[in-house]
Structure 1
């Protein structure tokens, strides 16, 4: 698999770079935020929908809100979509939907991580710049 095909999707790129950049949350400015709504939903086909708000400033590259969910084993996280972010200093709503590829998610308690991340190219290879990260307990309900 080529690097180009791995980075082909915005959500995939965000999750790949998030996993590859431990400790990157330290660079987020205090006025840049992301929230996660306390409840998410699961459709009959297993699609999970998560939402919240974000605020970020000054992106020079493509910016995204990515999200993941885990239940039970915290080391197993399922990527749940990605949304294009506008970093203009204003608060915006985000909503991501996705179907876990393995081990379906069930109604009940879950842990969600949401990240506002920008891919900025400062000399070739796009590098991640993390604007905000939030890790929060939520309740998933059937929709």
Structure 2
């Protein structure tokens, strides 16, 4: 699981992050890439795309526009990306972290 060192932030607040991952299939439970970004005064949980777990290296790109709270601004931001399997134990949800990466990312303004 990796996070690229640069991302973008648009004037409307849309954040784009990307990176790579690799995972192997281990049952039918879905796997997702969960992302969050933290700036000086802002922390936003962004969710993320579904992952394909076939043992190969894949790239991921996630575009998110949080609709509430203050917006991220261009500049350095701490990004967490987690490869997360959503399974169950008995009748309870049981997410399992498969891999994680945390880096400071340079959020650059989107050129219009």
TM over 0.5, shorter chain: yes
**CA deviation map 1:45-100 (0-9, x unaligned):** 11001000011122320100011100125xx5201231001111111111111123
Residues 79-98 of structure 1 mapped to structure 2, 5 A cutoff: 79-98=45-64
Instruction: Work out which structure has the larger RCO, using CA pairs closer than 8 Å and 6 or more positions apart in sequence.
Output: 2
1:53 matches 2:4 = no
Q: How many aligned residue pairs are there?
A: 108
Residues 1-143 of structure 1 mapped to structure 2, 5 A cutoff: 34-60=1-27, 61-73=29-41, 77-100=43-66, 101-143=68-110
- Which structure shows the higher strand fraction? 2
Give every structure 1 segment of 4 or more consecutive aligned residues whose post-TM-superposition deviation is greater than 4 Å. none
List runs of 5+ in structure 1 lacking aligned partners: 1-33
Return the alpha-carbon distance in structure 2 between the equivalents of residues 54 and 102 of structure 1.
30
List runs of 5+ in structure 2 lacking aligned partners: none
The Cα of 1:123 is off from its aligned counterpart by 2.2
Q: In angstroms, what is the RMSD of aligned CA positions?
A: 1.4
Q: 1:120 to 1:133 in 2, by over 3 A?
A: same
